[in-house]
Amino acid sequence: MSATTTSSHTPMSAQELDQFRAQVRAFVAERLPQQVREKVRLGIEPNKADMIAWESELRDRGWLAPHWPLEWGGTGWSPAQRAVFQEEMVLGHSPELGGITFEMIGPVLLRYGTEAQKNFFLPKMTGVEHFWCQGYSEPESGSDLASLRTRAVRTRDADGSEHYVVEGSKIWTSGAQHADWIFCLVRTNTDVRQQEGISFLLIDMTSPGVSLRPIVGIHGWPLFNQVYLDKVKVPVANLVGEENQGWTIAKSLLEFERLNLARVAENRRRLAKLRSIGETVEEAGVTLFERPWFRRRFSELEVRLETLAATVLRFRVRAQSGERLGPETGMLKLVGSQLIQDIAVLTVDALGPQTLAWDRDAHFELPGPDTEPPLIERHPYAPTASSRRFVTRGYTIAGGSSEIQHELLAKQVLGL
> What pLDDT band is residue 216 in, cutting at 50, 70 and 90?
confident
Domain with CATH 1.10.540.10 in the chain: 14-97
Which of 93-97, 176-180, 182-186, 292-296 has the least mean pLDDT?
Answer: 93-97
Tell me which CATH homologous superfamily contains domain 261-413: Butyryl-CoA Dehydrogenase, subunit A, domain 3 (1.20.140.10)
In this prediction, residues 50-57 reach a mean pLDDT of: 93
Query: Please, which residues have CB within 8 angstroms of residue 130's CB and are 6 or more apart in sequence?
Result: 101, 121, 124, 180, 181
Helix (H) or strand (E) holding 135: strand 132-135
* The predicted structure's pLDDT at residue 99: 81
> What pLDDT band is residue 3 in, cutting at 50, 70 and 90?
very low
How open is the CA angle 285-91-132, to the nearest 5 degrees?
130
CB-CB contact of 266 with 344 (8 Å): no
Query: Please, which residues have CB within 8 angstroms of residue 377's CB and are 6 or more apart in sequence?
Result: none
CATH number of 132-245: 2.40.110.10
Half-sphere exposure of 324 (CA within 13 A, CB side): 9
Which of 34-48, 166-180, 258-272, 304-318 has the least mean pLDDT?
Answer: 258-272
For the chain, give the percent of residues with pLDDT over 90.
Answer: 52
Which of 131-140, 199-208, 350-359 has the least mean pLDDT?
Answer: 350-359
In this predicted structure, the answer to whether residue 371 has a pLDDT above a threshold of 70 is no
Query: Please, which residues have CB within 8 angstroms of residue 297's CB and are 6 or more apart in sequence?
Result: 346
Distances (CA, A) of 268 to 35, 243, 263, 305, 349: 21, 41, 9, 8, 19
* The predicted structure's pLDDT at residue 274: 95
| Nearest C-alpha neighbor of 252 from the set 74, 47, 106, 70 | 106
> What pLDDT band is residue 145 in, cutting at 50, 70 and 90?
confident
Helix (H, G, I), strand (E, B) or coil at 151: strand
CB-CB contact of 44 with 364 (8 Å): yes
Domain 14-97 coded CATH 1.10.540.10 = yes
Farthest-apart Cα atoms in the chain, separation: 80
CB-CB contact of 154 with 201 (8 Å): no
Q: What pLDDT, in 10s, does the model give residues 251-299?
A: 777 666 666 678 888 898 899 999 999 999 999 999 999 999 999 999 9
* The predicted structure's pLDDT at residue 316: 78
> What pLDDT band is residue 124 in, cutting at 50, 70 and 90?
very high
Query: Please, which residues have CB within 8 angstroms of residue 188's CB and are 6 or more apart in sequence?
Result: 151, 152, 153, 154, 164, 197, 198, 199, 243, 244, 246
What does the alpha-carbon distance between residue 253 and residue 107 come to, in Å, rounded to a whole number? 8
19 or 384, higher pLDDT: 19
> What pLDDT band is residue 160 in, cutting at 50, 70 and 90?
confident
Helix (H) or strand (E) holding 11: none
Distances (CA, A) of 33 to 40, 44, 58: 11, 15, 12
Categorise residue 175: left if φ over 0, alpha if ψ from -120 to 50, beta otherwise: left
Q: What pLDDT, in 10s, does the model give residues 328-352?
A: 888 888 899 999 999 999 999 999 9
What does the alpha-carbon distance between residue 21 and residue 211 come to, in Å, rounded to a whole number? 43
pTM, two decimals, is 0.80
What does the alpha-carbon distance between residue 76 and residue 78 come to, in Å, rounded to a whole number? 7
In this predicted structure, the answer to whether residue 363 has a pLDDT above a threshold of 60 is no
DSSP 211-235: EEEEE--TTSS--EEEEEEEEEEEE
* The predicted structure's pLDDT at residue 330: 82
Which of 78-82, 133-137, 140-144, 178-182 has the least mean pLDDT?
Answer: 140-144
Domain with CATH 1.20.140.10 in the chain: 261-413
What does the alpha-carbon distance between residue 260 and residue 99 come to, in Å, rounded to a whole number? 7
Helix (H, G, I), strand (E, B) or coil at 401: coil
Phi, psi of 356, deg, nearest 5? -60, 130
> What pLDDT band is residue 361 in, cutting at 50, 70 and 90?
low
What does the alpha-carbon distance between residue 107 and residue 111 come to, in Å, rounded to a whole number? 6
For the chain, give the percent of residues with pLDDT over 70.
Answer: 90
Which range in 42-46, 231-235, 359-363 is most confidently predicted, on average pLDDT? 231-235
| Nearest C-alpha neighbor of 215 from the set 168, 177, 167 | 177
What does the alpha-carbon distance between residue 336 and residue 333 come to, in Å, rounded to a whole number? 5
Burial class (CB in 10 A: 0-12, 13-18, 19+), 263: buried
Domain with CATH 2.40.110.10 in the chain: 132-245
* The predicted structure's pLDDT at residue 360: 59
DSSP 84-120: HHHHHHHHTTPPPP-HIIIIIIHHHHHHH--HHHHHH
> What pLDDT band is residue 241 in, cutting at 50, 70 and 90?
very high
In this prediction, residues 314-320 reach a mean pLDDT of: 79
* The predicted structure's pLDDT at residue 386: 87
Helix (H) or strand (E) holding 300: helix 292-320
* The predicted structure's pLDDT at residue 1: 35
CB-CB contact of 347 with 354 (8 Å): no
Mean pLDDT of the chain: 87
Which of 118-132, 182-196, 397-411 has the least mean pLDDT?
Answer: 397-411
> Beta strands 286-287 and 282-283: pairing type?
antiparallel
